[in-house]
Amino acid sequence: MPVIGINLTKIEFEKKGVPPIGGRIEVNLTPKVRDMRLGEIRSPTGRMNGVEILFKYEITYRPEIAEGLIEGAVMYLPQRREDVDRILDTWEVERKVPPEVFAEVINFLTAEISPLLFVIAKEMRLPYHIPLPRVEIKPQG
């Protein structure tokens, strides 16, 4: 797995109102890459260069009952060392993240941040960002 770690630097949530009873609530998760730069990892076998990706993960509710954001950085190690320069050059020139890198990073972030969002939503009495499975009893016919 090319993403080897995450470092959260900011978690901010604000509750703006009470969820409507019985109304539909939409939760939008918007991950964004803020910046990319050369990162370095020290391991027992020596130093390795990778791509440090700074991210911002915005969470919005509709109707506007709450909003939040999570910021931080992930360290991305491509399988080939020469890809580090290619990824960073593309970012510097075009401000674009290669699709395979973006998919890997966003999938990792979603898996890491979702449990945290469940805890925050529970503590703040907000709807979860993903519907939980529910058991329903159906009448026998």
Domain positions in the chain: 3-123
Q: What is the pLDDT of residue 141?
A: 66
Q: What is the pLDDT of residue 44?
A: 86
Q: What is the pLDDT of residue 118?
A: 94
DSSP assignments along 73-88, one per residue:
EEEE--SSTHHHHHHH
Q: What is the pLDDT of residue 37?
A: 96
DSSP assignments along 38-98, one per residue:
EEEEEETTEEEEEEEEEEEEEEEEESSSEEEEEEEEEEE--SSTHHHHHHHHHHHHH----
Rounded mean pLDDT for each run of 10 residues along the chain, 141 residues in total? 89 90 88 95 86 96 94 94 93 94 94 94 91 85 66
Q: What is the pLDDT of residue 38?
A: 95
Q: What is the pTM of this model?
A: 0.85
